[in-house]
Structure 1
Amino acid sequence: MATGCYYGRLGRRTGASLCLGGGRATQSGAGVSLKREYDAVVIGAGHNGLVAAAYLQKGGLKTAVVESRPVVGGAAVTEEMIPGFRFSRASYLLSLLRPQIYTELELKRYGLKVLPRDPYSFTPMLEDSQGGRTPRSLLLGNSMAETQSQIAQFSAKDAEAFPKYEAFMRRLVLAIDPLLDTCPVDVAALSQGSLLQRLKALQGLKSLLCAGFALGKELPRYYEVLTAPISKILDFWFESEPLKATLATDAVIGAMAGPHTPGNGYVLLHHVMGEIEGHQGAWGYVTGGMGALSQALAHAASALGAEIFTEKRVAQILSSDGKARGVCLQDGTEVKSRLVLSNASPQHTFLDLTSQEFLPPEFVRRISQFDTRSAVTKINVAVDQLPNFLAAPNAGDNHPLPHHQCSIHLNCEDMGIVQQAFEDACQGRPSHRPMIELCIPSALDPTLAPPGCHVISLFTQYTPYTLAGEKQWDDQERDAYADRVFDCIEAYAPGFKASVIGRDVLTPPDLERIFGLPGGNIFHGAMSLDQLYFARPLPSYSSYRSPIQGLYLCGSGTHPGGGVMGAAGRNAARIALGDFKKL
């Protein structure tokens, strides 16, 4: 079954879906048709593409966005895969969206509302209930005193160290944060440009140097955080496995990496550097699902004058004489423009949509080798009752309890379990005990499900793109893995499987096919040190520009990487606007 969509008690299986607030609702007003010429065309209406379009239009360029799916948002969508249940089908939490975008595009005015979570993390244990004792769990929240009390169940030493660890990591986040909103140092201009270009490139070093100065004498320790395995960093600070494993999930989530893989510290930072309503590091649910964020971005861009069109698949980026000239759609329609910004992945942009005639062979070779390995299978589940965890039994009225609003970490009470799950995938096998992040957004937003029912998001690892023996995912493999995930949840929350109404299973190939995520990678490419900052996507091509004049990347395959951040779209638009004025 193509989409991995399964309706259990509904008695039917189908790949069809209803796209809520879909493309037709977010196109420009009725009667507006796609013109044959614009100043700029943006390929893809994912969140970065919508952000880029808004800033291009705000900067005075007549801009069109063309999207292949019938709904805008890319991976940030709300879709009704099971009647009555609305899912954030791919991305499911918000934190990283840059605060400048909130204010400059007036997203609250266009309906964006984020529901913060407190507490935010829950890790139940699998422990024998001897003498009727309830298994332990670890609940982390915004109250440091309560969090320390929870940690003290496992280690008084760790409880004392935790606020110091938080302060240590916060200092690194504050130093790196300004880098997210600036173009990386232009290495090509620094080494090969004219004197004026070299001087401008040197100015680009300012933010990098400021980050170094901000860290001061502790710079070597912070360098270790970025380069060492997260297990080494956490072993320095803590001794209790439940705490270490819970924190380690943020370093490996979305990555084909384990706790002992060097250099995954930045992925951890990437998940703690956001904010909600000024609260640093907080994550929340978008009211109405992640599609409501994309709707707000689309409305903001449209209000500025940008035109957004869905079900318009780009077949080719037009170019001549080394310059971008527009795009050709799959139906043969040509749309001319002086600028083209691609929100698609670097591979799809340059290997599928661009004529190789104007691309240096080495550039093509390096793009083709860009690491897009994925470990993720996303499972969306409709249930008729809340999971009832042995470590935190439900109230009699089935009303959500504080831990139900959290990111619930299963098979995460020991880093050894997570490492073994990773090693399974390295052998081409889905993890025997997969790492599971379970979220129940309907615990805070009851509009997502019928009364008494809930939607559950399961972000699971590790599942390789290609199985052992070059075997491809099929219905049998997909269902077998989902069943294994459900068995794991059942061990923590007996009765879970009986509560399931239906499920939507998205393996790495499904994520690639439906959302254009290369290899199923949620970041458009690994967030490893060799693919960050001025090496993202390639050294000398980190300034959002490409070998073709007027063709830019604006998606997660560029600095500062993945997550629903919007920084890549905003940064790329600002670079493109500056270049346009010089044309």
Structure 2
Amino acid sequence: MKKHCIVVIGAGHNGLVAACYLAEAGHHVMVLEKRNIVGGSCVTEETFPGFKISSAAYVNSLFLNKIVDDLRLRDYGYEVLLRNPSSFTPLPDGRYLMLGPNKEFNLEEIAKFSKYDARKYAKYEKVLSEIASFIDTTLTMEPPGLPPQNLSDLTQYLKLAGKLLGLSQKSKITLAKLISYDARLFLDEWFESDALKATLLTDSIIGATNFSGYVLLHHVMGEAGGVRGVWGYQRGGMGNITQALKKAAEDRGVKIYTNHEVKQIKVENGAVRKVDFANGGIVFPDIVVSNTDPKLTFLKLLGPDNCPKSFLRKIANLDFSSASMKVNLALSGVPKFFCIDEEDVGPQHRGTIHIAPGVSYITKAAREGKRGIPSTEPILELTIPSAVDNTLAPAGKHIMNIFVQFAPYHLREGSWDEIKQKYFEKNIMDALKKYIVNIENIIEGVQILSPLDLEREFSLTEGNIFHGAMTLGQLFSMRPVRGYANYRTPVKGLYLCGAGAHPGGGVMGAAGYNAARAVLEDVQKEKP
């Protein structure tokens, strides 16, 4: 087999995963990264002196254990820290709901609000776990053509059909509802408690602008935390994942260049010819694997004359609507909640803290976001990883990650550069002060990343953390567009390996793994 020169654009987790597998197969691999550090959105940075901040992505559940094992990432420092409890929802009336991996604990907590829901919850988890196991089998699949184009496609669909038929009747019906229902209606069929429904509903809106049953399912699929659906922290921050991948890649001979922004991918006779750097450098690869999103890859880096116009229209029309914002805080002490009279680090600090006290609260926030108005009472997902990982902050101090929704990229009035500081001080701080007694007194540092900042800093078009919406029309055989879900593109030698390809967003690594296999399969078919 000929040894190829392969350029990977973007040193995010998917790009590094692809690079590792391609180098292990014996190819000469170069990774080019715009920023001064590898990791893309999966990165740890000392934003404030002594504080290690997961700047963008902040928890791990989805990263594939297969990749961890294949690349021996634990040997390079990869370590997931479990969170117990994993979820804490404080309420304005002084009550709260905690959930975690212990089933008996969950039932006791839910029964505080509804004995009916406590009885139903175990069934709910069982059905979602069965469905997640089915979806699991698709994550490392190369999606077949739609409609099927050959015998291989038909075989893939028959295999999927067989696995689908193996689900229980309840799980089949639930899966159909998850991919077609508004998540609010779906949860209404299961539960009666507003606190429980609001807590679960937050999983359906992370990175989304609609109440997506599939996104809800997407967030309960992972097993990196040791138990399906339970999220963990990464020791040393999320950058620990990509630093482990960097070391694994370099040990396999991969050359990684930071501060190397790609300006253009040049094409000759329908095939990749060269890659131009923004600093004037040039490289002549045989193959290019792009970890940037489809719009950046095809509409900016590739240019308008190298793909069919019909294809470029589909790319331009992809839904990238987003309403996510990230705020990172350095804290001088432990946040104290009104609903728990405790000064020290406790169970309430370990997991995800949901500032979303009811379904109507979430619905109002979403409606405002749809109209281009940042939610006046935003939904906040808080994490304090330093409550579990003592390597992240100086002794006695803490960090708080805040994932904010809904913060629409396209504003009805003004710009994010004009309003983000005021929005933090007024709306976000007002929401925090309703639940945390001492929040104003313990903030040492603030980093605000608006959707516009996420686009600028991490090359996330429109601030979309998934490289494109995870809607039914942009999943599986239609991600990024129908006819090109197999990681290949209209340009010979150009492949996609980012979250804009199947199976989509989240720190999973599957798209990088799948794209590397597609490249190796094509190389294997080449004539000597």
TM-score with structure 1 length normalisation? 0.88
Match 2:372 to one of 393, 415, 428: 428
Cα offset for 1:77?
0.6
2:86 is aligned with 1:120: yes
2:236 is aligned with 1:236: no
2:289 is aligned with 1:330: no
Deviations 1:313-349 (A, max 9, x none): 1111121111112311112222111110000010000
Ranges of 4+ aligned residues in structure 1 off by more than 4 Å: none
Q: Is the 8 A contact 1:95 1:282 kept in 2?
A: yes
For structure 1, the 5+ residue unaligned runs are 1-36, 128-134, 192-197
Q: Which residue number corresponds to residue 491 of structure 2?
A: 548
Report 1:146-545 matches (<5 A): 146-187=105-146, 190-191=148-149, 198-218=150-170, 219-257=172-210, 259=211, 264-276=212-224, 278-395=226-343, 398=344, 400-410=345-355, 412-469=356-413, 471-545=414-488
Q: Is the 8 A contact 1:326 1:339 kept in 2?
A: no
In 1: Cα distance, 2:328 partner to 2:83 partner = 20
Instruction: Indicate the SS of the match to 1:108.
Output: helix
Q: State the AA in 2 paired with 1:378.
A: K
Q: State the AA in 1 paired with 2:37.
A: V
Residue-pair matches, total: 523
Instruction: Indicate the SS of the match to 1:422.
Output: helix
In 1: Cα distance, 2:121 partner to 2:485 partner = 36
Cα offset for 1:446?
1.6
Report 1:30-179 matches (<5 A): 39-127=5-93, 135-179=94-138
Deviations 1:135-172 (A, max 9, x none): 11000011111111111111010011100110011111
In 1: Cα distance, 2:388 partner to 2:524 partner = 47
Deviations 1:237-296 (A, max 9, x none): 100000000000001111112x4xxxx111011111001364222211111111111100
For structure 2, the 5+ residue unaligned runs are none
Cα offset for 1:392?
1.5
Deviations 1:207-242 (A, max 9, x none): 422331222534233211211011111111100000
Cα offset for 1:356?
2.2
Deviations 1:161-202 (A, max 9, x none): 1001100111111111110011101237x34xxxxxx11222
Instruction: Indicate the SS of the match to 2:360.
Output: helix
Structure 1's 451 and 230: CA in aligned 2 closer, same or farther, altered over 3 A? same
In 2: Cα distance, 1:482 partner to 1:56 partner = 47
Instruction: Indicate the SS of the match to 1:326.
Output: strand
In 2: Cα distance, 1:388 partner to 1:477 partner = 26
Q: Is the 8 A contact 1:67 1:313 kept in 2?
A: yes
Q: Is the 8 A contact 1:243 1:413 kept in 2?
A: no
In 2: Cα distance, 1:291 partner to 1:75 partner = 9
Q: Is the 8 A contact 1:62 1:305 kept in 2?
A: yes
In 2: Cα distance, 1:250 partner to 1:217 partner = 24
In 1: Cα distance, 2:225 partner to 2:428 partner = 34
Q: Is the 8 A contact 1:85 1:382 kept in 2?
A: yes
TM-score with structure 2 length normalisation? 0.97
Q: Is the 8 A contact 2:82 2:226 kept in 1?
A: no
